């Protein structure tokens, strides 16, 4: 019979309590061992060289916190308290990587400092013996520290137990002996990643390569290898363990060698974005272990071999070349039951039975630049697990409306761009997260969208009517739309005051339509807006929106409209591009623009502005000093070098265009302190005075237009030092004297110096006492050239350009 607790002697209770306390303390001491003091000191020394500008990511690394095992990113052995791993990837750290400190941690086996902003790496002191400390390192990842340059890799040879090395996105361009250093690594290496390292030397031809004996993964992608595929890699023999090879984005040439068959364990082969030629070999179908094959963006010709249909393990297939021809049939996919991703980009045709049911269920289809159409293929409708569907530029012109939109309703990414699809979308509800339907012939009113849509491009179509059905259609819950492009359509009417539904928009493009009226007040509520483009419409009224609270706004283009009033100044201080050309703005250039120091492009041309250029313009440091800017791959047009040019990345340009206004006064020398400018256009104004010699400081200038003003004096000699100058126009001023001597100045067309009666020297024709016809349309125009004088003169109507008429 059990006794109650009250009957147990007190002494036994005390003994049980003491025993449990001892056991708890021992377990606790084993589980939470304090870190080793030497390791703690080494970590603090490492921290001394580290900066964390965005936030104090290493705040837990404190001298007051004795147990470094609790510090961010630090892992310790539970028994010994020795630091075994340090993982600080993507912590926005900058400064120096002090390897000397870290490699004093004797038990360290894992070190990951990737995806940071480190710029320097401490050099090793050869007088120290690191062999004992470095022999334990098995995993080393310093990748994606983009500004880090390594001029010495010899220390890597000391890592006798290294299994994984990743130096991707680190500049190793000075490492001409990188291959030799890697070959000195011991046979324990399983993974080597040197992607985007600026490596350039050609692969050696040797077949005896030590570091490949145990290698499983080799990534040398995105370098500058200019050679054939490395023989040493494919001649390893069938006993190699290598299963993953990535040599994409290089300049590799030649054909794929048949010795590739020696790599019997190969599962991943990526050779895309090279210059490989010849035909795609049919023996590739013998690589039964291949799961990932990417041969896209090369120079292959001929047809795609049907033997690829035998790769029964294949999960991902990507092939592309502008020179591939032929027809794909069911035979090419006969045994690909495991295929999940299919990417084909080539001018090939398809011959599939309308009732064909593929052996696979794909998650992604990308069939671009092909002859897929004209009708959207029936076999794609059998794919019930699609996450993305891309058929851009594939000659598709017809879709079965109800069936198609129901089929794509649950697809995350839909790309139909650059086809000729003609369909009325007025009653369609788009549901995909990412939608690319630009450059087609979609018509009718704009479609509705669900709350799921994040990215929507409907540009370059034939949509007409107002934009109210899209913008004023209340979805019912918070929408996700971040990017919207409805430019280059036939849309009309006013911009509705419904923007409170779309406060999450970051990119809005509505240019090149026929929109009218004033901008609604609610448009200044886009707190997340980065880019706003409304140019080439018929919008009017004062631009009175207060955009100063849109802290993220970097780009605004409202040119080619009918806006009036004064130049808007209620802009965020982070603005980078401000294009207001071809409107009706008047008054002076407001000095408040000088406070937008981040501006890299300012275009106020073709307005009615008057008065001088503000002298504070040199405060716009984005045009005058080094500055990192945003880069967005969007097409936009810019007037430069005497013509309208198309650019793909506005962040690469520095421009100031004040042309075709009524500006007056002298050009302040502060303009010429904007030394980062590539384009400066002050033409068709009323500027007077001399061209300041400080113009020679603008070393990056590519285009300079000062024509049609009232400038006087000589062209300063310093202009000849502008070595990048490829366009110049100083015509129709009152300039005098000799044109400065400089290779580019004499290479410009003579028309860029016209209308300056006192200007002389090459490239103006030099025939003493002979009248040379330089231009003639109605008998007007000519130049009398003597040793010191150039004069305009009337000519006979029959005179042509190049004719000489004696005085």
Q: Quote the DSSP letter at residue 520.
A: P
Q: Quote the DSSP letter at residue 409.
A: T
Higher pLDDT, residue 504 or 4: 504
User: Do 682 and 703 form a contact (C-beta atoms < 8 A)?
Assistant: no
The predicted structure's pLDDT at residue 311: 95
Strand partners, 705: 681, 729
The mean per-residue pLDDT over the stretch 635-658 comes to: 74
The mean per-residue pLDDT over the stretch 600-604 comes to: 94
The predicted structure's pLDDT at residue 749: 86
The predicted structure's pLDDT at residue 32: 55
User: Do 646 and 624 form a contact (C-beta atoms < 8 A)?
Assistant: no
Cβ contacts of 595-598, under 8 Å, gap ≥ 24: 595/619, 596/571, 596/572, 596/620, 597/573, 597/621, 597/622, 598/573, 598/574, 598/622, 598/627, 598/629
CA atoms of 17 and 19, how far apart (whole Å): 5
Which of 126-130, 414-418, 631-635 is predicted least confidently? 126-130
pLDDT in tens, 687-715: 999 999 999 999 999 999 999 999 999 99
CA dist 173 to 94, 169, 603, Å? 21, 11, 39
Q: What is the dihedral of CA 519, 520, 523, 525, to 10 degrees?
A: 150
CA atoms of 344 and 318, how far apart (whole Å): 6
Higher pLDDT, residue 708 or 574: 708
pLDDT in tens, 766-794: 433 443 444 433 333 444 433 333 344 44
CA atoms of 137 and 547, how far apart (whole Å): 54
Question: What is the full DSSP assignment across 593-615?
Answer: GGG-TT-SEEE--SSEEEEPPPG
DSSP count for the chain of H helices, then E strands:
10, 55
Q: Which of 577, 695, 550 is nearest to 636 (CA)?
A: 577
Neighbours of 206 (CB within 10 A): 12
Q: Tell me if the bond preceding 695 is cis, omega within 30° of 0.
A: no
Which of 183-192, 266-275, 414-423 is predicted least confidently? 183-192
Q: Quote the DSSP letter at residue 318.
A: E
Is the pLDDT at 486 greater than 60, yes or no?
yes
Fold match between domain 277-419 and domain 556-764 = yes
User: Do 397 and 416 form a contact (C-beta atoms < 8 A)?
Assistant: no
Q: Tell me if the bond preceding 374 is cis, omega within 30° of 0.
A: yes
What residues have CB less than 8 Å from 75, skipping those under 6 apart? Answer: 69, 83, 84, 85, 86, 87, 110
The mean per-residue pLDDT over the stretch 347-351 comes to: 94
CA atoms of 609 and 588, how far apart (whole Å): 6
Is the pLDDT at 759 greater than 50, yes or no?
yes
Question: For residue 785, what is the enclosing H or E element?
Answer: strand 780-785
Distance of CA 259 to the CA centre of its chain: 37
Distance of CA 725 to the CA centre of its chain: 27
Is the pLDDT at 285 greater than 90, yes or no?
yes
Buried b / exposed e along 222-257 (16+ C-beta atoms within 10 A): bbebeeebbebbbbbeeebebbbbbbbbbebbeebb
Is the pLDDT at 297 greater than 70, yes or no?
yes
Is the pLDDT at 451 greater than 50, yes or no?
yes
Rounded to a whole number of angstroms, the distance between the first and last alpha carbons of the chain is 142
Higher pLDDT, residue 568 or 526: 568
What topology is assigned to 277-419 in CATH?
3.80.10
User: Do 290 and 266 form a contact (C-beta atoms < 8 A)?
Assistant: yes
Query: Could you tell me the sign of the dihedral formed by the alpha carbons of 661, 662, 665, 666, in that order?
Result: positive
The predicted structure's pLDDT at residue 7: 47
The mean per-residue pLDDT over the stretch 143-165 comes to: 87
Q: Which of 312, 327, 280 is nearest to 299 (CA)?
A: 280
The mean per-residue pLDDT over the stretch 542-566 comes to: 91
Strand partners, 375: 398
Higher pLDDT, residue 723 or 202: 723
Domain boundaries in the chain? 277-419, 441-529, 556-764, 766-807
SS3 15: helix
What count of residues does the chain have?
A: 807
pLDDT in tens, 67-108: 999 999 999 999 999 999 999 999 999 999 998 889 889 999
Is the pLDDT at 186 greater than 90, yes or no?
no
* pLDDT interval class at 200 (50, 70, 90): confident
Give the architecture (CATH level 2) of 556-764.
Alpha-Beta Horseshoe (3.80)
User: Do 159 and 131 form a contact (C-beta atoms < 8 A)?
Assistant: no
When mean pLDDT is compared over 159-163, 540-544, 740-744, the highest value belongs to 540-544
The pTM of this model reads 0.81
Query: Could you tell me the sign of the dihedral formed by the alpha carbons of 29, 32, 35, 36, in that order?
Result: positive
What residues have CB less than 8 Å from 1, skipping those under 6 apart? Answer: none
What residues have CB less than 8 Å from 604, skipping those under 6 apart? Answer: 567, 580, 581, 585, 589, 657, 658, 661
Q: Which of 759, 701, 702 is nearest to 730 (CA)?
A: 759
Q: Which of 483, 492, 530 is nearest to 512 (CA)?
A: 492
Burial of 310 (0-12, 13-18, 19+ CB in 10 A): middle
């Amino acid at each position: 019979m059990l006794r109650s607790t009250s009957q147990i002697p007190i002494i036994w209770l005390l003994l049980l309590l003491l025993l449990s306390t001892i056991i708890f303390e021992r377990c606790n001491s084993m589980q939470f061992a304090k870190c080793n003091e030497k390791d703690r000191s080494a970590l603090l020394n490492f921290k001394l060289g580290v900066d964390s500008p965005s936030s104090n990511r290493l705040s837990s690394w404190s001298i007051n916190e004795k147990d470094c095992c609790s510090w961010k990113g630090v892992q310790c052995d539970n028994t010994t308290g020795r630091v075994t791993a340090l993982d600080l990837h993507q912590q926005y750290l900058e400064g120096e990587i002090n390897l000397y400190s870290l490699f004093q941690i004797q038990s360290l086996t894992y070190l990951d400092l990737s995806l940071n902003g480190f710029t320097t790496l401490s050099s090793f002191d050869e007088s120290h013996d690191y062999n004992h400390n470095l022999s334990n390192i098995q995993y080393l990842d310093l990748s994606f520290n983009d500004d880090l340059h390594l001029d010495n890799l010899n220390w890597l040879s000391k890592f006798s137990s290294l299994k994984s090395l990743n130096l991707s996105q680190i500049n190793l361009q000075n490492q001409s002996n990188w291959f030799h250093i890697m070959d000195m690594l011991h046979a324990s290496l399983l993974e080597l990643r040197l992607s985007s390292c600026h490596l350039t030397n050609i692969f050696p031809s040797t077949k005896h390569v030590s570091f490949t004996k145990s290698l499983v993964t080799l990534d040398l992608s995105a370098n500058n290898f200019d050679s054939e595929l490395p023989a040493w890699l494919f001649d390893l023999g069938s006993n190699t363990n290598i299963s993953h090879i990535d040599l994409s984005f290089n300049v590799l040439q030649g054909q794929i060698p048949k010795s590739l068959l020696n790599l019997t364990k190969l599962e991943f082969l990526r050779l895309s974005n090279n210059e490989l030629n010849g035909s795609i070999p049919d023996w590739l179908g013998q690589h039964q272990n291949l799961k990932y094959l990417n041969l896209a963006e090369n120079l292959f010709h001929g047809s795609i071999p049907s033997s690829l249909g035998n790769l029964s393990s294949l999960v991902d297939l990507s092939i592309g070349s502008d020179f591939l021809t032929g027809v794909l049939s069911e035979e090419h996919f006969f045994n690909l039951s495991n295929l999940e991703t299919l990417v084909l980009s080539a001018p090939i045709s398809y011959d599939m039975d309308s009732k064909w049911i593929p052996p696979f269920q794909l998650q992604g289809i990308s069939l671009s630049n092909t002859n897929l159409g004209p009708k959207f293929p029936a076999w794609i409708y059998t794919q019930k697990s699609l996450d993305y569907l891309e058929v851009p530029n594939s000659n598709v012109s017809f879709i079965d409306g109800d069936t198609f939109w129901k089929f794509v309703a649950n697809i995350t990414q839909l790309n139909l761009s650059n086809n000729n699809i003609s369909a009325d979308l007025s009653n369609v509800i788009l549901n995909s997260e990412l939608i690319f339907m630009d450059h087609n012939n979609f018509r009718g009113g704009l479609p509705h969208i669900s709350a799921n849509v994040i990215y929507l491009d409907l540009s370059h179509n034939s949509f007409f009517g107002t934009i109210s059905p899209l913008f004023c259609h209340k979805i019912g819950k918070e929408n996700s739309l971040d990017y919207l492009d409805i430019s280059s359509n036939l849309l009309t009417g006013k911009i509705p005051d419904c923007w409170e539904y779309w406060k999450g928009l970051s990119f809005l493009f509505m240019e090149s339509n026929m929109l009218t009226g004033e901008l609604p007040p609610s448009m200044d509520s886009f707190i997340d807006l980065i880019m706003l483009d409304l140019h080439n419409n018929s919008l009017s009224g004062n631009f009175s929106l207060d955009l100063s609270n849109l802290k993220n706004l970097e780009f605004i283009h409202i040119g080619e409209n009918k806006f009036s009033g004064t130049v808007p100044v209620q802009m965020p201080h982070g603005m980078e591009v401000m294009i207001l050309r071809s409107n009706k703005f008047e008054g002076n250039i407001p000095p408040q623009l000088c406070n937008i120091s981040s501006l890299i492009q300012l275009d106020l041309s073709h307005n009615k502005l008057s008065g001088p250029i503000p002298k504070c313009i040199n405060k716009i440091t984005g045009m005058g000093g080094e500055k990192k800017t945003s880069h967005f791959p969007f097409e936009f047009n810019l007037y430069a070098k005497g013509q309208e040019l198309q650019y793909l990345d506005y962040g690469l340009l520095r421009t100031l265009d004040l042309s075709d206004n009524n500006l007056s006064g002298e050009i302040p020398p502060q303009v010429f302190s904007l030394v980062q400018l590539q384009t400066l256009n002050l033409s068709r104004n009323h500027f007077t005075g001399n061209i300041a010699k400080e113009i020679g400081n603008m070393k990056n200038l590519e285009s300079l237009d000062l024509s049609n003003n009232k400038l006087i004096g000589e062209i300063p000699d310093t202009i000849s030092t502008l070595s990048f100058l490829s366009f110049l126009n100083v015509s129709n001023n009152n300039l005098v004297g000799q044109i400065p001597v400089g290779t580019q100045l004499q290479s410009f067309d003579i028309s860029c110096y016209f209308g300056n009666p006192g200007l002389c020297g090459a490239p103006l024709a030099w025939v003493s006492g002979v009248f040379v016809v330089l231009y003639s349309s109605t008998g007007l125009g000519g130049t009398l050239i003597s040793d010191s004088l150039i004069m305009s003169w009337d000519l006979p109507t029959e005179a042509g350009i190049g004719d000489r008429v004696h005085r």
